[in-house]
């Protein structure tokens, strides 16, 4: 009798062992992460470009031949530096002529003034007619007008002479030169492009759906692949008043920031990584985003490890960063959350730690 009972017990042990062995073999190996308490910061990562709005194209203001090129592409220049000189011989001759005519009209005015004074004296003595007095007054007025016209002609020809020199309007760098000595130009022909030393900014485009989350004075962290490992701080200084449709990016809003004193040497057109701090919360429960599954827009679930089985838990999240989410409801501190790693888990499914 006892032998029969012992045999039955052994059969049960073998069956149970086989069941648990098969269950263990069929259980998925999973990784888990713990729900912990900490801080989370939402950030916006953008790509910015170094630009300078104070960039001008300098053109010839006169028709003429280039007599000399004084600056080349890449040269650093000061405000007023002569970049090129046009043939000024005609302008100089016209200026000399206008100067001589001005002297002549000054002398004519002096003579008309003396004549008027003499006629007025004779008129008071009764020795000059009213007609003679009127004519002398008209002659002086005409001489005054002629002198003003001569002065204006002199100023105009001085301007023509000045325009024969192409000067930089501000301190900066010549980034383009498009003419050479001996070349004949018409007025309006581009000669140089100069970018100002001051006024360099970094411009980035924020998606129109995110622009309401940025504001003037918002801190940013900047970095550049050219200077690997170099990071420096700045803040948003300008936000565009309009939305722009940028090719490949959709509707965006431009934002700008100054490079700041800590910035490395930057070139126009260089790309800079812009990391914008949007919001930060502390002392909260956080869970990695990779451990969450979005079942519908705004609704998430997680699977926790519970005695060798995956248990589904609906969760509510708040602020998110690139890697983590604020846990508002659904899990507790210390819960072990399964990382799906692309697997489709079911509630109650057998799992085991990898």
What does the pLDDT look like over 212-266, one tens digit per residue? 889 999 999 999 887 777 899 999 999 999 988 877 778 899 999 999 888 888 8
Out of 67-71, 190-194, 203-207, 248-252, least confident range: 248-252
What's the CA gap between 63 and 6, in Å, rounded?
Answer: 119
The confidence score (pLDDT) of residue 20 equals 37
Calculate mean pLDDT across residues 100-120: 91
CATH number for the domain whose boundaries are 57-86+164-198: 2.40.50.100
The confidence score (pLDDT) of residue 317 equals 94
Q: What's the mean pLDDT when you consider all of the chain?
A: 87
Domain positions in the chain are 26-40+281-353, 44-53+199-280, 57-86+164-198, 88-163
Tens of pLDDT, residues 13-62: 333 333 433 444 468 899 999 999 999 988 889 999 999 988 899 999 88
pTM of the model as a whole: 0.58
What's the CA gap between 78 and 83, in Å, rounded?
Answer: 10
Angle of the 89-124 helix axis to the 130-162 helix axis, nearest 10: 160
The confidence score (pLDDT) of residue 341 equals 85
The confidence score (pLDDT) of residue 249 equals 74
Domain 26-40+281-353 belongs in CATH node 2.40.50.140: no
Burial of 54 (0-12, 13-18, 19+ CB in 10 A): middle
Q: Which one is the CATH code of 44-53+199-280: 3.50.50.60, 1.10.3720.10, 2.40.30.170, 3.20.20.140?
A: 2.40.30.170
The confidence score (pLDDT) of residue 28 equals 86
The confidence score (pLDDT) of residue 273 equals 94
Give strand pairing partners of 299: 296
The confidence score (pLDDT) of residue 91 equals 87
What's 88-163's CATH class? mainly alpha
Element (H, E) at 20: helix 2-26
What's the CA gap between 69 and 168, in Å, rounded?
Answer: 13
Tell me which residue of 40, 29, 28 sits closest to 288, measured CA to CA. 40
What's the CA gap between 18 and 176, in Å, rounded?
Answer: 82
Contacts of 94 (CB under 8 A, 6+ apart): 157, 160
């Amino acid at each position: 009798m006892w032998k029969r009972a012992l045999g039955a017990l052994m059969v049960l042990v073998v069956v149970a062992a086989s069941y648990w062995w098969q269950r263990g073999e069929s259980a998925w190996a999973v990784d888990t992460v713990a729900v912990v308490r900490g801080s989370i910061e939402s950030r916006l990562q953008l790509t910015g470009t170094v630009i300078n709005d104070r960039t001008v194209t300098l053109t010839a203001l006169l028709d003429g031949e280039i007599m000399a090129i004084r600056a080349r592409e890449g040269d650093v220049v000061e405000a007023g530096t002569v970049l090129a000189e046009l043939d000024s011989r005609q302008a100089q001759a016209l200026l000399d002529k206008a100067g001589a005519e001005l002297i002549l009209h000054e002398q004519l005015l002096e003579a008309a003034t003396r004549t008027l004074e003499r006629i007025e004296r004779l008129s008071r003595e009764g020795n000059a007619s009213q007609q003679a007095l009127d004519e002398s007054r008209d002659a002086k007025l005409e001489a005054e007008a002629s002198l003003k016209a001569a002065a204006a002609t002199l100023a105009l020809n001085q301007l023509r002479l000045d325009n024969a020199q192409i000067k930089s309007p501000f301190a900066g760098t010549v980034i383009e030169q498009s003419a050479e000595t001996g070349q004949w130009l018409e007025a309006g022909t581009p000669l140089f492009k100069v970018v100002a030393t001051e006024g360099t900014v970094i411009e980035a485009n924020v998606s129109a759906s995110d622009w309401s989350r940025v504001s003037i004075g918002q801190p940013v962290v900047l970095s550049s692949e050219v200077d690997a490992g170099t990071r420096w701080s700045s803040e948003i200084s300008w936000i565009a008043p309009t939305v722009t449709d940028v090719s490949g990016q959709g509707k965006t809003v431009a934002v700008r920031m100054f490079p700041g004193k800590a910035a490395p040497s930057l070139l126009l057109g260089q790309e800079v990584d812009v990391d914008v701090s949007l919001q930060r919360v502390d002392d909260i429960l956080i869970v990695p985003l990779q451990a969450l599954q979005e079942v519908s827009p705004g609704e998430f679930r997680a699977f926790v490890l519970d005695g060798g089985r995956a248990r589904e838990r609906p969760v509510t999240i708040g602020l998110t960063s690139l890697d983590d989410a604020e846990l508002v409801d659904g899990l507790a501190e210390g819960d072990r959350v399964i990382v799906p790693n692309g697997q489709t888990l079911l509630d109650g499914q057998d799992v085991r730690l990898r």
